[in-house]
Every structure is written in C-alpha cells, then in structure tokens.
Structure 1
C-alpha cells in the first residue's frame, strides 16, 4: 500500500460498504462532500479505482484485517437530519427570533402567462422573417429570366 489511512478515511471507507455518502455524513456529523473527499483520498492512498476494490484490499491487509468491515447500518440513522426537506416541510411561518420562511409556491398563472408572451414574440419574429423574405422575392421577381417564372395557363 502506498500510505496508511487516517482513522476518518478508514471509517468513511468501511461505512461506504453499506451506506451512502449522505448517510455516512449524518452518522459522523460531517458533510457528504467531506465524506466523498475522505473516500477519494483513501482510494488514492490504496492505489485502487473503486470502493469495492479498496474494501477487498483492506480485507486482505493484516494492518486492517477482515474484522474491520462495516456492520449493517443502525436503523435509527435513517431518520431525517435537521435541515432536510422532510424535516422542514411543516415550517411555513416564523417560529420566533431568527425565524425564516420557506419560499412561496409559484403562482399558477405566471407560468402560463410567460408561455403566452414567448409564443407571441416567436410569432412576431416569424411574421417579420416571412415578410422580409417575401419582400425580397417581390423585388427580385422582375429581374428573373422569363423561363424561371411559372405561370398558370
């Protein structure tokens, strides 16, 4: 192995066998981005390209041993963490000092109005292009050779 893993890297890597980065972050009290950084650094130090290969390498290494493999996650960990949308779903009004509001839902007519405005603008642009092209054809028609102009008999 290229280098020894820190305790946090080892912990994150072993937990990644049965948990997602977000679950590991909740369990350890750190961001899931930090968990990803620890796992990536562990993969680099173990000189492997996947978490599965890293766990295999750890299981075969006497320094870490097979007893270090992660236990199944605790069911209590599947509860939403503070700040998760599920946790904040009922907070639509302030609750005291430093309270905050969730954004208001979008107005239903606003989307339809925007669609109609964009459709009208597109129609005006199309009419403008057609009139420019037909004007150009009208100006050029007298200069066309007689065989190029189709007439009805």
Structure 2
C-alpha cells in the first residue's frame, strides 16, 4: 500500500509572504493610459534636455541672460548720463548755483521735519558717551583726592 499524500504542503513549498491580489478598481485602459503618459513625459524631457545641450546647457543660457541684462543696464546708464549736464555745461549755462540751492532747500526740509541723519545720530551718541566718561573720570578724581591725603598723612607719620 502506498502512503497517502500530506494534507498541507510542506513548509519549504509554502509562500513566505501573503498573496495580495491586484486591485481591480483600475481597468486595463486606465493603466495603459498612465504608462503611455509616463512614456511621453520621458520622451519630452529627453527632447528638451537634448535641445538644452545643443544650446550649450543651462550655464550658457544663464550667461546669455546675464550678458543681455548687463547690456540693457549699461544702455540705461548711458542714457541717464547723457541727460546729466557736465561741469563745463553748468558753467556755460549758469545752472550749478541753482542745483546747490535746491540741495540746500532739500536739506533744510529734511532738518525741519526733525529727522536726523545717521551722522547726527552718531554725533549725539558720541557726545552722550563723552559726558558719561567725563562724569566717571570726575568721580574717580574725587575718590583719588580723598584717598591720597590719607595716604600722604600715613607716610608722613611714619
């Protein structure tokens, strides 16, 4: 008589992990469309990368942008400089004094509003620190004068 087969498969044939069925919520058409979109995206990216390398890469593009911006800025500077009169033109036309008067008027307006510039703030701070330092030195002088006569008396008595 032949032995009967075991009721369960041997352990070495049993799967190590649980079987997980493929979700059926996605139809074959949706999966195919998703794979197609991924493939087309890869193709587009590769084409764009190839075009970028043909133009010299990102560094070259950034350099071209920088150079064009710099040229635009230099042209603007040249236009602005052309509209500003030179010293000789000012002397010929007698404009220089008017601009100085305008500057003085603007400065007086600035001072009238009670706004202080950075140099005035610095001067005020230095004055305040100087007064504090003088006060400290005067206190030290008073203390020194009080201590020294006592020391002089001690040295004279010995």
TM-score higher than 0.5: no
TM-score when normalising by structure 2: 0.31
Q: Whose radius of gyration is greater, 1 or 2? A: 2
Structure with the larger RCO, 1 or 2 (CA within 8 Å, 6+ apart): 1
